[in-house]
């Protein structure tokens, strides 16, 4: 079954039909790899251990290849039980030394039915407020930039690292930290209904924050990191927030989140530019629909607080599977969508980038961009899309483009002479899913005239087939850049020798931006800030190139269509 990404008010949701993790594994080679800095597997013994004193107590981490690695650091008490759907409970101090040698559990989430049966799911719990740190030094006064990463998976699935194969690969921060002398942080937080079930209109003021509890978790993790940055060799006044896909949406939201203000100093939004979040009305509608699936109503909604987590997840997946699907990339509204942050007027006062960029983030430098061929990621479950003919591409696009289908196809054929029908389908759906939002977000950031924004397009093409049984290549599909920006080219399923150069180009740019708020370095062309006059965009590849106003005619088309 094909993955579906729904949009309601320009925010992304992921259905369980798409196997994000299996796709990532499909485009990564799993065996016989040697990373720039080795992964510390759960069953591996560290070379040594190292202790560090934090604001709440002492931690014991691993030393591997010169790096200090701390996994499963608690940044909040358990939000389970009576704390379900409430803001993250504050961390309590501890005595003695806590081990930080293994990843903490991920948020409770629905399993992906497309997962290979032999794969082990990562441990999951409502008690999931844990983070992980890779650093070259401890309390050494070097004031390294801190790179605080939010994982993808929409607001519904995923983790910041897990001790099961192949999940132990994607977000490992070892190579990035070691190559560029930076501190890398990943984290887990509440997802799906556990993080975003809005109960403010049903259970009252005590649950006013329920529609953004997951984002408040991230803000709490960020605050802990800033408080303890110096202990881990980092600079508390130089913290970068960044994230891909759902992590990009979380980063977009952090820029507008009052509780996160002051705890970060720059941001990067990767394949997840988010302009708008959900309204209280739409979110209340979703909550009422969930109550209906559980046989509850407003009158006995408090039973949500004591029902087993598995029962809630069963109701969530039943709710989402009832959605009406229209065409290959449908747009749904109302209660059938996944749960995500709510503009409640207080915890999240406004939409992140609509109608304007958030005033609180006016002085925050920003990078934003997409992958060139995002929607190949989504097409994997419908292999017929990889061999479209001319009538087929029109038929595939008509459900979402309607009467504009002919005009869009005509523009893209003119803009991309020689493109196959499938090439056109990928380009058009990528623009609608990701690219146009990234441009709008950048334009609104530029309008603030407060801090620079840098635009990129990840263009390195993987030659491996995009799906079993097809010959169409993976190209620069959604999520393929993760291994490159984390400087893990050895785990990419490509035989191209220049993948190492592409990974260095990208990872060094991100580390440079973390250090100086400027992504330039001496191995890529000069990368100026984005302006409405030049629209400078860096095409990230083995040989990077700067393009001014790329796909100009296509950009104008989408702006005219609105």
CB 546 within 8 A of CB 536: yes
CB 267 within 8 A of CB 364: yes
Please state the rounded mean pLDDT for residues 185-201: 97
Per-residue pLDDT reduced to its tens digit, 385-433: 999 999 999 999 999 999 999 999 999 999 999 999 999 999 999 999 9
Condensed to tens digits (0 to 9), the pLDDT of residues 35-83 reads 445 555 555 677 899 999 999 999 999 999 899 999 999 999 999 998 9
CB atoms within 10 A of CB 289: 16
Query: What is the spatial distance between Cα 83 and Cα 66, in angstroms, rounded to a whole number?
Result: 40
Model confidence at 446, in pLDDT bands (50, 70, 90)? very high
For 29, residues 6+ apart whose C-beta sits below 8 A from its C-beta are 490, 491, 492, 493
Res 396: pLDDT: 97
The C-alpha atoms of residue 549 and residue 547 are separated, in whole angstroms, by 6
The count of other CB atoms within 10 Å of the CB of residue 168 is 17
Q: Are 536 and 529 in contact (CB under 8 A)?
A: yes
Residue 372, CA atoms < 13 Å, CB-side half-sphere = 18
The pLDDT, as a whole number, for residue 27 is: 53
Tell me how far apart the alpha carbons of residues 511 and 175 are, in angstroms, rounded to a whole number. 12
Span 541-559, average pLDDT: 98
Predicted pLDDT at 338: 73
**Res 169: pLDDT:** 82
- Is residue 239 a contact partner of residue 263, using CB atoms and an 8 Å limit? yes
CB 276 within 8 A of CB 354: yes
Q: 58: helix, coil or strand?
A: strand
Q: Is the link from the previous residue into 166 a cis peptide, with omega within 30 of 0?
A: yes
Supply the pLDDT for residue 35.
44
Residue 556: which residues within 8 A CB-CB, separation 6 or more? none
pLDDT surpassing 80 at residue 314: yes
Q: Say which residues have a Cβ less than 8 Å from residue 533's Cβ, sequence separation at least 6.
A: none
Q: What is the pLDDT of residue 20?
A: 57
Say which residue, 440 or 16, is predicted with more confidence: 440
Q: Is the pLDDT of residue 112 over 80?
A: no
At 315, the pLDDT band (50, 70, 90 cuts) reads very high
d(CA 18, CA 153): 10
Q: Can you name the CATH fold of 1-562?
A: Rossmann fold (3.40.50)
The dihedral sign for the CA sequence 381, 387, 390, 392: negative
Q: Are strands 97-99 and 58-64 parallel, antiparallel or unpaired?
A: parallel
Residue 62 backbone phi and psi in degrees, to 5: -100, 155
The pLDDT, as a whole number, for residue 322 is 55
Question: Is the pLDDT score of 131 beyond 80?
Answer: yes
For the chain, domain boundaries: 1-562
- How confident is the model at residue 362, as a pLDDT? 97
- What is the pLDDT averaged over residues 337-343? 86
What average pLDDT does this structure show over 248-272? 98
Give the tens place of pLDDT for each residue, 75-89: 999 999 989 999 999
Q: Per-residue confidence at 155, pLDDT binned at 50, 70, 90? A: very high
Distance separating alpha carbons of residues 100 and 60, to the nearest angstrom: 5
| pLDDT attached to residue 111 | 77
Predicted local distance difference test score (pLDDT) of residue 224:
98
Determine the pLDDT at residue 6: 29
* pLDDT-above-90 percentage for the chain: 82
State the pLDDT at residue 12. 39
Instruction: Name the burial class of residue 468, with classes exposed (0-12), middle (13-18) and buried (19+) by CB atoms within 10 angstroms of its CB.
Output: exposed
Q: Where are the alpha helices (DSSP H) in 148-274?
A: 174-180, 192-196, 213-228, 246-254
More confident of the two residues 277 and 112: 277
Confidence of residue 216 (pLDDT cuts 50, 70, 90): very high
- DSSP line for 133-151: EEES-SS-S--EEEEEEE-
Q: How confident is the model at residue 29 (pLDDT cuts 50, 70, 90)?
A: very low
pLDDT band at 114 (very low <50, low <70, confident <90, very high): low
Question: pLDDT tens across 172-186, in order?
Answer: 999 999 999 999 999
- Whether pLDDT at 245 is above 50: yes
- In angstroms, rounded to a whole number, what is the distance separating the alpha carbons of residues 279 and 81? 27
Is 164 a residue whose pLDDT tops 90?
A: no
Q: Rounded mean pLDDT of 486-498?
A: 93
pLDDT of residue 116: 64
Predicted pLDDT at 46: 75
Which pLDDT score is estimated for 22? 54
Task: Go through 98-135 and write b for each residue having 16 or more CB atoms within 10 A of its CB, e for each that does not.
Answer: bebbbbbbbbbbbebebeeeebeebebbbbbbbbbbbb
Whether the link from the prior residue into 355 is cis, omega within 30° of 0, is yes
Q: Which residues contact 173 (CB under 8 A, 6 or more apart)?
A: 132, 133, 134, 147, 149, 184, 185, 186, 486
CA distance 492 to 403: 40
Measuring CA to CA, which residue among 542, 482, 480 is closest to residue 510? 482
Percent of the chain at pLDDT above 70? 88
pLDDT exceeds cutoff 50 at 378: yes
Query: Does pLDDT of 8 surpass 50?
Result: no
3-class DSSP assignment, residue 270 = strand
Instruction: Give bridge partners of residue 498 from the DSSP assignment.
Output: none
**Per the structure block, which two tokens stand in for 232?**
């881990």
Res 33 pLDDT > 80: no
Average pLDDT score, the chain:
90
Query: Could you read off the pLDDT of 404-416 as tens digits, one per residue?
Result: 999 999 999 999 9
Least confident of 20-24, 52-56, 327-331: 327-331
**Three-state SS for 279?**
strand
pLDDT at residue 530 greater than cutoff 60: yes
The confidence band for 331, taking pLDDT boundaries of 50, 70 and 90, is very low
Q: In the predicted model, is pLDDT for residue 357 greater than 50?
A: yes
pLDDT value for 324: 37
Q: In this predicted model, what pLDDT tens digit does every residue of 500-523 receive, in sequence order?
A: 999 999 999 999 999 999 999 999
| Residues 381/2, Cβ–Cβ less than 8 Å | yes
Q: How confident is the model at residue 21 (pLDDT cuts 50, 70, 90)?
A: low
- Answer for the pair 251, 243: CB distance below 8 angstroms, yes or no: yes
79 in helix, strand or coil?
coil
Closest CA to 152 of 116, 177, 189: 189
- DSSP assigned state of 435: I
């Amino acid at each position: 079954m094909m993955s579906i990404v729904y949009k309601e008010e320009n925010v992304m949701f992921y259905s369980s039909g798409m196997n994000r993790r299996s796709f990532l594994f499909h485009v990564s080679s799993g065996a016989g790899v040697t990373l720039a800095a080795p992964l510390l597997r759960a069953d591996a013994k560290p070379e040594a251990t190292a202790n560090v004193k934090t604001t709440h107590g002492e931690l014991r981490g691993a030393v591997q290849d010169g790096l200090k690695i701390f996994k499963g650091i608690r940044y909040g008490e358990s939000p389970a039980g009576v704390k379900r759907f409430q803001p993250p409970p504050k961390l309590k101090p501890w005595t003695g030394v806590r081990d930080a040698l293994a990843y903490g559990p991920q948020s409770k989430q629905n399993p992906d039915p497309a997962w290979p049966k032999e794969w082990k799911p990562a441990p999951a719990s409502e008690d999931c407020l844990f983070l992980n740190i890779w650093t070259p030094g401890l309390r050494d006064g070097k004031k390294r930039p801190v790179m605080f990463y939010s994982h993808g998976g929409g607001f519904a699935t995923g983790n910041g690292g897990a001790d099961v194969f192949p999940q132990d690969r994607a977000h490992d921060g070892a190579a990035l930290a070691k190559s560029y002398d930076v501190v890398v942080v990943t984290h887990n937080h509440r997802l799906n209904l556990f993080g975003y079930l809005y109960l403010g209109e049903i259970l009252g003021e005590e649950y006013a924050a329920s529609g953004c509890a997951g984002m408040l978790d991230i803000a709490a993790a960020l605050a802990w990191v800033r408080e303890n940055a110096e202990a881990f060799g980092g600079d508390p006044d130089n913290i970068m927030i960044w994230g891909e896909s759902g992590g990009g949406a979380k980063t977009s939201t952090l820029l507008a989140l009052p509780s996160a203000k002051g705890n970060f100093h720059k941001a990067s939004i990767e394949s997840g530019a988010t302009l708008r979040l959900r309204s209280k009305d739409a979110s209340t509608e979703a909550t009422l629909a969930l109550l209906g699936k559980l046989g509850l109503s407003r009158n006995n909604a408090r039973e949500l607080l004591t029902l087993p987590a598995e029962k809630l997840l069963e109701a969530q997946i039943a709710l989402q599977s009832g959605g009406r699907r229209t065409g290959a990339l449908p747009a749904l509204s109302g209660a059938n969508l996944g749960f995500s942050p709510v503009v409640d007027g207080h915890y999240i006062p406004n939409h992140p980038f609509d109608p304007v960029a958030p005033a609180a983030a006016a002085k925050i430098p920003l990078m934003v961009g997409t992958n060139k061929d995002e929607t190949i990621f989504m097409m994997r479950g419908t292999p017929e899309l990889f061999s479209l003919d001319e009538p087929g591409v029109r038929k595939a696009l008509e459900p979402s483009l309607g009467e504009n289908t002919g005009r869009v196809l005509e523009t893209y054929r003119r803009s991309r002479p020689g493109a196959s029908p499938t090439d056109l389908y990928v380009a058009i759906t990528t623009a609608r899913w990701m690219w146009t939002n990234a441009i709008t977000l950048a334009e609104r950031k530029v309008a603030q005239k407060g801090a620079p924004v840098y635009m990129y397009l990840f263009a390195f093409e993987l030659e491996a087939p995009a799906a079993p049984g097809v010959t169409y290549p993976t190209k620069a599909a959604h999520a393929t850049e993760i291994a490159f920006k984390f400087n893990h080219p050895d785990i990419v399923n490509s035989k191209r020798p220049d993948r190492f150069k592409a990974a260095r180009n990208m990872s060094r740019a991100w580390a440079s931006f973390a250090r100086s708020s400027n992504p330039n370095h001496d191995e890529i062309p000069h990368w100026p800030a984005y302006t409405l006059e030049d629209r400078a965009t860096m095409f990230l590849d083995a040989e990077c190139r700067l393009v001014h106003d790329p796909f100009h005619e296509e950009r104008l088309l989408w702006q005219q269509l609105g």
